[in-house]
Amino acid sequence: MTQTAERPTFEEDQLEDVEPPELDPEVAARRAAALSRVRIFGDPVLRARALPVERFDDELRAEAARMAGIMHDALGVGLAATQLGVMHRLLVYRVGADAPLAVLVNPRLEWVSDEVEPLEEGCLSLPGIHVDVERPVHVRVGALDDLGEEVLIEASGLEARVIQHEIDHLDGVLILDRTSREERKAAMRELREREEAGPAG
């Protein structure tokens, strides 16, 4: 499957719309277990600002590895530490199955293009919600890796979008804040209705 190439949308969770029966039962079970670790909208940690990482030790590397594992099992393309309730400025992403895993610590957007592009986005912390988000197409990001070494990333398209989506998480910003008032209202209504209906089977 080549979701990235064929899908016109960006999903933090690329397989959001694939019915679980299509997945191998073992993969589906691992995915459900991973998703159960991800904080869902309504949890105040998703609205908090994460703190800069100051120590680049084995604990940090274990944390990044744990995040990468959960992202992988959840079949996601990106994950921010805050989504697991960890208030560190730390994110991981992997855009495409063959791409290397990226671990960014204390990332900062150093430049964004004037050229912007709208695209429908989904989020592991907002299951089933999709809204149009307009973002710069090209970005330059400075960060540290998990050893504390400076890295500079120039990204475009999907990679640029994933990085911006995850940095937003570190600032307590969600896709609901980046969409039109109408789409936000519709998404909030859906979230409220779902809450009233109780947890989905």
What residues are labeled active site? 166
SS3 state at 164: helix
Q: Which residues of 106-126 are buried (b: 16+ CB within 10 A; e: fewer)?
A: bbeeeebeeeeeeebbbbbbb
Angle between helices 25-35 and 58-73 (to 10 degrees): 130
d(CA 115, CA 50): 28
| 75/123 with CB nearer Zn ion | 123
For binding to Zn ion (CB under 5 A), which residues are involved? Answer: 12, 123
Judged by beta carbon, residue 56 or residue 109, the one nearer Zn ion is: 109
Minimum distance, C-beta of residue 98 to Zn ion, in the bound complex (Å)? 23
CB of 116 to Zn ion, least distance (A): 19
Nearer CB in complex with Zn ion: 123/144: 123
Local structure of 155: helix, strand or coil: strand
**Smallest distance, Å, CB 38 to Zn ion?**
9
